Every structure is written in C-alpha cells, then in structure tokens.
C-alpha cells in the first residue's frame, strides 16, 4: 500500500473539522457548569439587579439637592428613614432629604443617587452636611442596568467561565443546558509496547502515549477512555476500534511506530462500516504519519507512535476537532506568547514545522520595550529552541511551548519576534 497517498496541509486538515457535528446536550447543575459549553441561548427572565441599588456606603439623595455643594459651601440635608439591607425602604425621600445607605442597599422611592460617606459629615441626629455634588444615578446601579428582562445574556456555544456561571446563577438558572463532555477513546498499538507496571526487557518500552494523550484530552475538558495496548494484529485492532467507537465520540490510535502497524491502521479503518479515510499523511513536522478517518459521524485519528510527534499532533490539530465536538461555534483562540528567538532556526519549505522552545525572561537591560521596571509592562520573553532529537520525551519536558514555522519560510533568524503556543 502506498504510504502518504493523501498527504494534506495543516489548513486542509483543519478545514475538515466542519464535517463533524457537536455531541448531544444535557441538563446540569449550574454549580457544575464551569468549563462546559452552553447549548442554548440564555435569556434574562427579569431585570438585573431588579431594583435601584447603592454601590457605595453613604446617603441616598435627590441629586438636585446636592448641586453646588462644596467643602466651603456644603448642602444641608434632613436625615430621614433607615434603610436595612435586603429590605424595601418603607418611606419616600423628598428633595432636601437624605437617608443613610450601605453598599448594595435599595434606594428609597424618590432617591436617584448616593453621596459617598467620605464627602459628608453628620451634623446631628437629624441632619447631614454634603461636601460634594452628585449627578443622577451616581454611585447607583439602576434596576435594569446590568441586564434587562428578555435580553439574551449568553449565547449557545459560550464557554462557561466563572463569571458566566455567576451570571446564570444570579438570573436564577440553577440548571443549564450544555453539551455533553465528549468521550475520547485512546488505543496504544505496537508489539514493543508494554503496560507501565511491567519491567521492560531490551526491545520493549512502556506505554507512554496512553498517559500523555489522556492528559491533553483532560486539559481540553473532555473525558479520556483508555483501551490499553493492542498488539500489531489487524483483527485485534479492528475489534478495539469498534468497541471504542461504540462507546466514545472520538478515537485516537497511537501507532506502534512500525511500518506494519501504520498499514494496519489504514487497513483496519478502511474495513470498518461507514468509514472513510480522509487524511493519510500531513505536511507537518513532527507529525507527518497522521491518519484521519470519519466513522459514521465520528473522527478517528491514527497518530504517530513517537511520543513527541503524537503530543504535537494532538495539541495542534486533534484538539480543534475535539472543540468542534464540544459545541464551540468557532475555532477557539489559541493562547500565544510573543518572544524573541535566541538563535537561528532552520525549517524545510513546504512543511509546517513545530519547534519546541523554552521561554525565559528577557533580561531587563537588553529590553528595548522596557520603560519603567517598577511598572507592569509588556511581555518580555526569550524563546530558546530545545535541542535534542525529536524522539526524546525530555525535549517536551524542557519545552514551555511550540514555535510554529509556516510552509513558505525557510527558517527564522535569531532575534525574530515570534509567538509561542503554550504547552
């Protein structure tokens, strides 16, 4: 069988994400919703906060009663009423009057603003002097100022951060409709691979990929399901694939690195019902021997057996497919850190290279960006390429990130400003 008969660029592989649907939805408790993806628009059932609320400790007033007030010419206001937290004030405030109020308290009818306590002085039990004027709605949040009733506050496909969970809770959504957590099956193949609890004899190595790949899946907020180690045997691999496809939303098969296994993977994938091999080879280094198939509506990946290559492929291209399954409506912005390259880096044309780099702080005395070392300033980092063969896991241990070099670039010179994908 011809190897790499269907080699695609990273862009071509990325564009295939479109053909896979998101997983099903489910209803969960809002307390468990962080890091999930909202699966329905969320509409405010009521105004938020729902009443006119003080944002400072001070006095509720008619703003107009304070106009012109200053240190030298304070406004004198009559003290009325008492506002208890969480209670509706049982009085109405007239012009010329003031009522003490705490942050979060409800303004009495008639009051439109709050004078901060720092700008007042209580004269006696019945009156207060105001040293600074306020404008209407100053130091106040109005009834519908945060969100108004019937407003769509969060959209289908939103990643739920703590603040989105808090907003949903604040609007009374104790349950939320979200996308399920995709299950990702992980199969290690290869006659040389043994379980980590066994002591390897020469020729054998322990199963690293099951652990690294599961880690990346967890990091992306999905659920890894390990199917263990399958020997280089097409029938066994087919059986494991069918089982994993029956139980999971995506399957990763990390090759046993042998030529035989690589052929087996394509052969086995081609023999599965309703399955089509879409990619067989990717013009990416490391990661060329990558396979992508569509089985029913699920992605199945054949990953390089080399531990570093498998990790890079998962980080760079598998995770965006996982995000599609998770219900994201558009590609998630990958976090990149700008840095200055410490040395020349070579790269082959026609291939997308991912170079492991360490990130180091840029010494202040050499930084042209530095203005005032006492102040928080723009990011200053050096990207130092990690030396060592690409098959060495230590290169991934020492690396803080990946430097992406495009197909049309022959290499990058020392001191080039690049941005680094964090690992």
> Residue 114 or residue 241: which is nearer to a second copy going by CB?
114
Pairing assessment for the beta strands 58-61 and 53-54 based on DSSP bridges: unpaired
Query: Of how many residues is the chain composed?
Result: 423
Nearest approach in angstroms of CB 376 to a second copy is: 4
Nearest approach in angstroms of CB 17 to a second copy is: 18
Nearest to 386 by CA among 344, 405, 358, 411: 358
> Residue 9 or residue 272: which is nearer to a second copy going by CB?
9
> Residue 72 or residue 174: which is nearer to a second copy going by CB?
174
Nearest to 43 by CA among 161, 178, 173, 165: 173
> Residue 66 or residue 158: which is nearer to a second copy going by CB?
158
DSSP-assigned states of every residue in 188-243: EE-TTEE-TTSPPPTT-EE--HHHHHHHHHHHTT-EEEEEEEE-S-HHHHHHHHHH
> Residue 21 or residue 200: which is nearer to a second copy going by CB?
200
The C-alpha angle with vertex 421 and arms to 415 and 422, in degrees rounded to 5, equals 110
Q: How far is CA 75 from CA 51, 375, 407, in A?
A: 27, 41, 72
d(CA 358, CA 237): 37
Nearest approach in angstroms of CB 278 to a second copy is: 23
Angle, helix 259-271 to helix 234-247, in steps of 10 degrees = 50
d(CA 159, CA 327): 9
> Residue 168 or residue 300: which is nearer to a second copy going by CB?
168
Decide if 294 contacts 251 (C-beta within 8 A): no
Nearest approach in angstroms of CB 294 to a second copy is: 26
> Residue 213 or residue 245: which is nearer to a second copy going by CB?
213
Q: How many CA atoms lie within 13 A of 179 on its CB side?
A: 29
Nearest approach in angstroms of CB 308 to a second copy is: 9
Nearest approach in angstroms of CB 202 to a second copy is: 4
Nearest approach in angstroms of CB 21 to a second copy is: 27
């Amino acid at each position: 069988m011809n190897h790499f008969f269907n080699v695609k660029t990273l862009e071509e592989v990325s564009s295939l994400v479109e053909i896979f649907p998101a997983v099903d939805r489910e209803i969960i408790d809002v307390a468990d919703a962080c890091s999930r993806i909202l699966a329905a628009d969320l509409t405010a059932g009521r105004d938020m906060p729902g009443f006119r609320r003080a944002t400072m400790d001070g006095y509720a007033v008619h703003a107009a009663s304070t106009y012109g007030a200053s240190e030298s010419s304070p406004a004198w206001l009559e003290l009325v009423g008492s506002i208890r937290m969480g209670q509706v004030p049982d009085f109405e405030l007239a012009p010329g009057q003031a009522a003490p109020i705490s942050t979060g308290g409800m303004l009495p009818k008639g009051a439109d603003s709050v004078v901060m306590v720092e700008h007042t002085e209580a004269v006696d039990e019945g009156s207060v002097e105001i040293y600074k004027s306020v404008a209407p709605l100053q130091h106040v949040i109005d009834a519908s100022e945060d969100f108004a009733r019937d407003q769509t506050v969060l959209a289908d496909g939103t990643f739920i951060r703590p603040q989105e969970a808090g907003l949903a809770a604040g609007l009374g959504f104790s349950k939320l409709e979200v996308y399920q957590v995709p299950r990702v099956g992980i199969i290690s193949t290869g006659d040389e691979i043994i379980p980590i609890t066994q002591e390897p004899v020469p020729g054998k190595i322990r199963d690293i990929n099951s652990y690294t790949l599961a880690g990346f899946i967890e990091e992306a907020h999905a659920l890894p399901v390990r199917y263990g180690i399958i020997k280089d045997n097409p029938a066994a691999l087919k059986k494991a694939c069918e089982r994993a496809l029956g139980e999971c939303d995506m399957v990763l098969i990390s090759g046993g690195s042998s030529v035989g296994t690589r052929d087996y993977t394509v052969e086995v994938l081609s023999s599965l019902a309703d399955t089509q091999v879409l990619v067989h080879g990717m013009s990416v280094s490391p990661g060329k021997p990558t396979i992508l198939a569509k089985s029913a509506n699920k992605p199945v990946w054949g990953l390089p057996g080399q531990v570093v290559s498998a990790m890079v492929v998962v980080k760079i291209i598998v995770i965006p497919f996982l995000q599609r399954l998770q219900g994201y409506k558009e590609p998630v912005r990958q976090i990149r850190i700008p840095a200055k390259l410490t040395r020349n880096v070579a790269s082959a044309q026609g291939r997308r290279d991912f170079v492991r780099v360490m990130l180091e702080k840029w010494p202040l005395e050499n930084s042209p960006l530095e203005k005032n070392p006492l102040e928080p300033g723009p990011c200053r980092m050096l990207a130092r390429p990690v030396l060592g063969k690409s098959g060495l896991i230590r290169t991934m241990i020492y690396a803080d990130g990946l430097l992406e070099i495009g197909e049309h670039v022959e290499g990058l010179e020392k001191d080039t400003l690049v941005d680094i994908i964090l690992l």
